[in-house]
């Protein structure tokens, strides 16, 4: 039954592709522009540098500055703290990519990797501040309370589910480590090629889901259903759809829905995550479970923040 449904959905998408070539072209252009202007310049350097840090083992030296409190708070290895840092600072799907690299290189176990995957793959602060808060929600100044709540939700989720995740924590500073490796050109070439392959695959998924989001707007659905589908498919298009429906939404509800959309990241991000964790023991189910829980927690958390801090409304 599932196979038949999959075939029918694929045929329906192909029919839409051929019936609406103009919409496909517009969606492709939008996705390509997003990838070229935002994803490529912001993600590629981090992918290359992170690959070198993990390949040489130098990331352990960076861990000395932030890993002790994170390791104590989350009950993870100090190597795993690097994935938390990159996942909260660099945006989708950097947290998943770093976690997969750490598992692949044997720095952390697959069980610890699945735990990290459930909460450390998030929207980057730069995207949240510049695109969401200032450009789309029209804040005049940075709403630090909103930023704190948005990133506190996944961190608290990780803390609360830790007792349910059973894995042995191994700290590299208390056990014998593999020696550091020198950076050499074959390693650099491998990191560059792997990073370009990763960012190219991400671009393909961004373009594909941008096209699907554009085609979904052509379906005979109500405005609310179209906005919901857009939010589920791709984050930037989903946020645009929610903001464009502002005339029928209160500012408080609009902000909460936008934050929930950003917390989920869309099925495009799910596909990107599956791409970077392929050929590892990591499970996409761990990521999806965490994303859904964090999304459901973000919505009431932002609503509660705005109800408890009415002064924030002066920023709209």
Tell me the per-residue pLDDT of 239-255, one tens digit each, with 9 for 90 and over.
888 888 766 778 888 89
Task: Give me the pLDDT at residue 84, please.
Answer: 94
pLDDT at 266 over 60: yes
pLDDT class of 1 with cuts at 50, 70, 90: low
| pLDDT value at residue 314 | 47
State residue 290's pLDDT score: 95
Q: What percent of the chain has pLDDT over 90?
A: 36
The reported pLDDT for the residue numbered 173 is 41
- 158-183 average pLDDT score: 68
> At residue 174, does pLDDT exceed 60?
no
Read off the pLDDT of residues 99-157 as tens digits, 9 standing for 90 and up: 999 999 888 999 999 999 999 999 989 889 988 999 888 888 889 999 999 999 999 99
3-12, 151-160, 265-274: the lowest-pLDDT one: 3-12
- CB-CB neighbours of 38 under 10 Å: 16
> Is the separation of the CB atoms in 61 and 242 below 8 Å?
no
Q: What is the 8-class DSSP label of residue 249?
A: S
Report the alpha-carbon angle 281-87-252, nearest 5.
120
- Whether residue 24 contacts residue 214, with contact meaning beta carbons closer than 8 Å, is answered with yes
Please tell me which residue, 184 or 140, carries the higher pLDDT value.
140
Q: Hey, what are 29's tokens?
A: 């252009």
Examine the pLDDT at 181 and tell me if it is beyond 70.
Answer: no
Of residues 120 and 5, more confidently modeled: 120
Tokens matching residue 167: 């894995």
Q: How far apart are the first and last CA of the chain?
A: 49
- Nearest alpha-carbon partner for 56 in 186, 194, 199: 186
Tens digit of each residue's pLDDT (9 = 90 or more) over 186-225: 878 888 898 898 889 888 998 999 888 888 877 777 777 8
Rounded Cα–Cα distance for residues 259 and 148 (Å) = 12
Query: Which structure tokens are listed for 26?
Result: 């517009």
* Better-predicted residue by pLDDT, 281 or 173: 281
Q: How confident is the model at residue 310 (pLDDT cuts 50, 70, 90)?
A: low
Task: Average the pLDDT over 275-287 and give the result.
Answer: 93
At 166 the pLDDT is: 81
Q: What pTM, to 2 d.p., does this model score?
A: 0.85
pLDDT at 169: 67
With a cut of 80, say whether residue 316 has pLDDT above it.
no
Predicted local confidence at residue 135, as pLDDT: 87
Looking at residue 241, what is its pLDDT?
A: 84
pLDDT averaged over every residue in the chain: 85
- In tens, the pLDDT along 6-36 reads 676 677 777 777 787 888 888 889 889 888 8
């Amino acid at each position: 039954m599932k196979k038949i449904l999959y075939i029918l959905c694929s045929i329906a998408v192909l029919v839409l592709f051929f019936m609406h070539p103009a919409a496909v072209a517009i969606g492709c252009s939008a996705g390509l522009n997003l990838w070229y202007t935002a994803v490529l310049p912001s993600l590629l350097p981090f992918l290359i540098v992170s690959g070198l840090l993990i390949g040489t083992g130098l990331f352990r030296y960076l861990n000395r500055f932030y890993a002790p409190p994170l390791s104590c708070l989350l009950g993870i290895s100090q190597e795993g703290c690097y994935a938390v840092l990159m996942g909260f600072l660099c945006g989708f799907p950097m947290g998943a990519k770093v976690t997969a690299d750490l598992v692949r290189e044997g720095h952390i176990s697959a069980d610890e990797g699945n735990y990290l995957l459930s909460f450390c793959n998030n929207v980057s602060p730069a995207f949240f501040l510049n695109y969401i808060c200032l450009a789309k929600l029209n804040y005049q100044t940075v709403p630090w309370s909103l930023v704190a709540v948005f990133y506190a939700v996944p961190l608290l989720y990780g803390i609360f589910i830790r007792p349910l995740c059973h894995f042995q924590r191994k700290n590299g500073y208390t056990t014998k480590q593999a020696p550091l490796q020198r950076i050499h050109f074959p390693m650099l070439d491998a990191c560059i090629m792997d990073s370009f392959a990763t960012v190219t695959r991400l671009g393909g998924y961004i373009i594909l889901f941008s096209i699907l989001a554009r085609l979904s707007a052509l379906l005979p659905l109500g405005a609310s259903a179209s906005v919901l589908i857009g939010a589920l498919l791709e984050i930037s298009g989903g946020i645009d759809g929610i903001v464009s429906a502002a005339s029928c939404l209160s500012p408080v509800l609009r902000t909460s829905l936008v934050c929930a959309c950003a917390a989920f990241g869309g099925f495009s991000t799910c596909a990107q995550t599956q791409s970077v964790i392929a050929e590892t023991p990591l499970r996409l189910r761990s990521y999806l479970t965490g994303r859904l829980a964090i999304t459901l927690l973000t919505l009431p958390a932002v609503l509660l923040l705005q109800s408890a801090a009415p002064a924030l409304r002066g920023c709209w």
